[in-house]
Amino acid sequence: MLSRRCPFPDVRQRCEAILGGVQELGIRIPRPVGHGPSRFIPEKEILQVGNEDAQMHTLFADSFAALGRLDNVTLVMVFHPQYLESFLKTQHYLLQMDGPLPLHYRHYIGIMAAARHQCSYLVNLHVNDFLHVGGDPKWLNGLENAPQKLRNLGELNKILAHRPWLLTKEHIEQLLKTEEHSWSLAELIHAVVLLTHYHSLASFTFGCGISPEIHCDGGHTFRPPSVSNYCICDIANGNHGADEMQISPTGSISTAESLCEVEVLMEKMKQLQECRDEEEASQEEMATRFEKEKRESMFVYFSEEEELAPTRDVSRHFEDTSYGYKDFSRHGMHVPTFRVQDYSWEDHGYSLVNRLYPDVGQLLDEKFHIAYNLTYHTMAMHKDVDTSMLRRAIWNYIHCMFGIRYDDYDYGEINQLLDRSFKVYIKTVVCTPEKTTKRMYDSFWRQFKQSEKVHVNLLLIEARMQAELLYALRAITRYMT
């Protein structure tokens, strides 16, 4: 790890020398499986450690100092340094700074949350961190070996991860009022923020095809590189040749078609803006369009023949393994719409978090704002573009899938701006991230830059995290009142 990923060149060189000496003694040196930090993004497009500018170097050095490593998530997020800085600051505060929960509890909650999506990448990292801060190795044999207090979080973990709209004040009451092993409000807020942070980070990990770290399971091999071995590794990693042209289920895609896709999207944005300026839909019409989009989002699903990248079994870290995502209006259940006007992050959630876990509300608020407002005024090869309409459509579509409605938004815009393959990708990454494939990643926005696709993932994870938080904080508020 240090020979490849330390931001300090003298350390990299010294570690390379040590490895060279060890190799001369006949000891085999592991090498990474796959190519680069992501299975989806060609390695040549990702910033190489050692080639960063002064600003990036400071970020890398800070990340390395805080985590003791420069991980693959950081190397992909660095496409957007402003966001990465906010993300690292928030994560550092949640895991390492003063707070209601002891350090080993924080990492264990991270393991529980990541395991709900079978995200062995994050589980592996936090198993190491958990042991490093003095966590009991026995807890890692399965949730039944952890203290009852942590096991009681299992229900909250599963509902937040898969069906947050089912969360009630009774769930909160059970955690706070259990005679023994009860949680304080401050501890519960800390736990909720950690759970939502790691559920959404699992979405980023799968959405960007993050590869295992070299020192973790599945991240290294001792076999020398050879043509046949290269093929085996690559197929297992979902890399079917970095330069292979993306093929849709209906056949091949020409570059002209992809270029046309960008032009069409820009034209639609222009038309929608003109319509907005001319007339505004009535409140009844807006409500109807929301319900229609909510209904339609249930029929967005993927039918993938493609083999998923193999994941290691991490199900011992959570209970009720059969519980997963289900659309909220299936099986005759009708979930009442969550109106942002009645309970919003800005007016309600932010102040509750800040009151019970000082500074975290501020950090989360900054991170949400950066992701939502991030723009370089470009779209593929076009410059000076106002992308706010598109960013808002993505954010509101995710909240719509969670039953959350903005009264002042025309949901008719979503169908205009997000095509089917993009909706499939969004829904998979947000609701069942472990099912994301390279084909899905390749099939949306084919002419856009990799950095723009990573930006989409930042919008997805922050909108998802905020949606989960809104349901949890609303339930806590109801319990308190």
Rounded Cα distance, 179 and 408, in Å: 45
Across 302-344, where does the E strand assignment appear?
A: 338-339
Selecting among 119, 208, 216, 400, the annotated active-site residue is: 119
Q: Are 329 and 335 in contact (CB under 8 A)?
A: yes
Q: Decide if 400 is catalytic.
A: no
For helices 154-162 and 450-480, the axis angle rounded to 10 degrees is 130
258-265, long-range: CB within 8 Å, 24+ apart, which pairs? 258/446, 258/447, 259/447, 261/445, 261/446, 261/447, 262/379, 262/380, 262/381, 262/382, 262/447, 262/448, 265/379, 265/390, 265/417
Pairing of strands 378-379, 382-383: antiparallel
The helix/strand/coil state of 33 is coil
Rounded Cα distance, 72 and 37, in Å: 5
Strand (E) or helix (H) holding 118 = none
Across 187-322, where does the E strand assignment appear?
A: 220-221, 247-248, 251-252
Q: Which residues pair with 404 in a beta bridge?
A: 338
Provide the greatest CA pair distance for the chain.
77
Residues tagged active-site: 119
